[in-house]
Structure 1
Amino acid sequence: MTPPAIFDRAARRLRRDRATDRFGERDFLRAVMLDGIGERLSSVTRDFAEVLDLGCFDGAFRLPGARIARLDPGYRFARAAGGVQGDEDRLPFADGSFDLVVSAGVLDQVDDLPGALTLIRRVLRPDGLFLGAFAGAGSLPALREAWRAAEAQRPAARFHPQVDVRAAGDLLVRAGFALPVADVETLNVTYRDLGTLVTDLRDMAGGNMLLTRTPATRTALAAAAEAFTAAATPDGRTMERFNIIYCTGWAPDPSQPKPARRGSGAASLARALGSR
């Protein structure tokens, strides 16, 4: 069954190309994601030789001693990082090509996220590791509320669906990963006005990339800006939240620990409860 098209792939590529020159000034969200991925990677006591940086942006991810292939939906990001252009749910790599796949800041913009995760698992070698991070459900509440207030009479679709941490864990299981873990961390950023937030989103290749988009009127933009400013704290700044979901999963391998066989416990739960 073909998944429904949610995102405009052509618009996504174009926006990534437009963000290439300015991304280094607005890369704070991906930098936080890469730090989180690095922390999780540091707890793994093994070496990785063949790595895929999936959604590479400017190629900031580094792993000493590893050979890193890079893929990005944007042509200019891919070219600048020495990688290839492609979509996360249409990977051009053979099965079992990598022993580590990292992805920071792109998987929330994919039409077929279950399919993308399945492909990631397939390009991993047995006992290969996937570490991903993306903005999840509950992100951008101040921006959402500002648009809700501005377009109360005629609301338009301005935000794409977001995955929560529980659904992320379920998707890892569905994709066939072993030892799946999904967790969430929150990043709070304050803004002096709506325009600065919108600029950040644009220059980090974010924003509205839905297949069906409705241009905002000047009146709606002004009303959204006013509502955003009205939510400011006494210091004149409005707090915005990014919920970063981290995903960890391993390609299955016989050497990995297995859950205990049902009924193999040495103690009886019924007997324990009966002694109360």
Structure 2
Amino acid sequence: MSSPAPPRIFSPARREASWHRAERRQRREGAARFVIEDMAEDFAERIGFMQLAPERALLMGSLGGGLPGLKEVTRAAPGDFDEELPFPGRPYDFIASFETLATVNDLPAALLHMRCALAEGGVAMASLVGAGSLANLRRAMIAAEPERPAPRMHPLVDNRAATALLERAGFRRFVVDSRELSVAYRSLDRLVADLRDQALGNQLARVAPPLGRAALERVRAAFLDHADEQGRVVEKFEILTLTGWKA
């Protein structure tokens, strides 16, 4: 008996469009890069610590960034291939995913195909914004539509779920860890701009109706309800990093 299809939470078309918009926004002076730069720096430290020198590498969704010590590198953005199907161009000695796996509909399948795309002894790393993120934004969005809030923010993976998913994907040796980035904001609009700069905006399959003017003012005010004495709202981004070795 075939397994039921996974729920369609994310829109591949919106996902691809969000990524291309972020690529354009990254060309602007002052575009936010703190999440993607943190991921790249973390990957680089891990590569150095493990003394990896992969011959063939796949970088998924790096938004123009690179990693040291890689020789033959293939780059891929969302839409270049379907991560829920066998990866093209395999086998790779190293695969890095910058946030791209956070918005696939079948994450277990994507991790399985990532493992299968590795050569024996290869290493996969995937970073994504985790479940401990954007608590103030979530509270504000609920306050904007207290009776029937429309889905406007993504479900996020936590550490325990990520560990179970790696095991389910067939990795026999793996590590999941997390860290936090704290960023202060004086307005909701600046936070939304930073999310769009880094392809972290809404990519849900179900398109919610636009917020009306009154609801938008409510969400802006609700966001600032948690401001400190300097008028800043400290928003946290939890970064999960999944590392798996193909035995």
Q: Could you say which TM-score interval applies, normalised by the shorter chain?
A: over 0.9
Residue number in structure 1 paired with 2:85: 90
Rg larger in 1 or in 2?
A: 1
Residue number in structure 1 paired with 2:173: 179
CA contact (8 A) 1:191 1:197 kept: yes
Distance in structure 2 (CA, Å) of the matches to 1:64 and 1:182: 23
Q: Residues 10-64 of structure 1, C-alpha deviation per residue, up to 9 Å, x if partnerless?
A: 1111222222221252221110111111222211134211000022322x12233
Distance in structure 1 (CA, Å) of the matches to 2:96 and 2:107: 15
Structure 2 counterpart of 1:214, from 179, 197, 208? 208
Distance in structure 1 (CA, Å) of the matches to 2:154 and 2:70: 38
Residue number in structure 2 paired with 1:22: 25
Residue number in structure 1 paired with 2:147: 153
The aligned amino acid for 2:24 is: D
Residue number in structure 1 paired with 2:50: 44
Query: How many aligned residue pairs are there?
Result: 240
The aligned amino acid for 1:220 is: A
Distance in structure 1 (CA, Å) of the matches to 2:84 and 2:215: 35
| Secondary structure in structure 2 of the residue aligned to 1:111 | coil
Listed as ranges, the matches of 1:102-117 within 5 Å are 102-117=96-111
Shift of 1:150: 1.5
Distance in structure 1 (CA, Å) of the matches to 2:112 and 2:221: 43
> Residue 5 in 1 paired to residue 5 in 2?
no
How high is the TM-score relative to the length of structure 1? 0.83
| Secondary structure in structure 2 of the residue aligned to 1:210 | coil
CA contact (8 A) 2:36 2:62 kept: no
The aligned amino acid for 1:130 is: A
Listed as ranges, the matches of 1:1-276 within 5 Å are 1=3, 2-23=5-26, 25-58=31-64, 60-73=65-78, 85-95=80-90, 97-215=91-209, 216-252=211-247
Identical residues among aligned pairs (%): 38
Q: Residues 227-247 of structure 1, C-alpha deviation per residue, up to 9 Å, x if partnerless?
A: 111211001110111110011
How high is the TM-score relative to the length of structure 2? 0.92
Residue number in structure 2 paired with 1:266: none
Shift of 1:131: 1.2
Distance in structure 2 (CA, Å) of the matches to 1:149 and 1:220: 9
Distance in structure 2 (CA, Å) of the matches to 1:143 and 1:134: 18
Bigger relative contact order (CA 8 A; separation at least 6): 2
Distance in structure 2 (CA, Å) of the matches to 1:188 and 1:88: 30
Distance in structure 2 (CA, Å) of the matches to 1:249 and 1:18: 30
CA contact (8 A) 1:53 1:103 kept: yes
Distance in structure 1 (CA, Å) of the matches to 2:70 and 2:192: 38
CA contact (8 A) 1:187 1:241 kept: yes
Residue number in structure 2 paired with 1:270: none
| Secondary structure in structure 1 of the residue aligned to 2:24 | coil
Shift of 1:213: 2.0
| Secondary structure in structure 2 of the residue aligned to 1:247 | strand
The aligned amino acid for 1:50 is: R
Distance in structure 2 (CA, Å) of the matches to 1:91 and 1:29: 28
Distance in structure 1 (CA, Å) of the matches to 2:58 and 2:224: 41
Shift of 1:153: 1.6
Moved over 3 A (4+): none
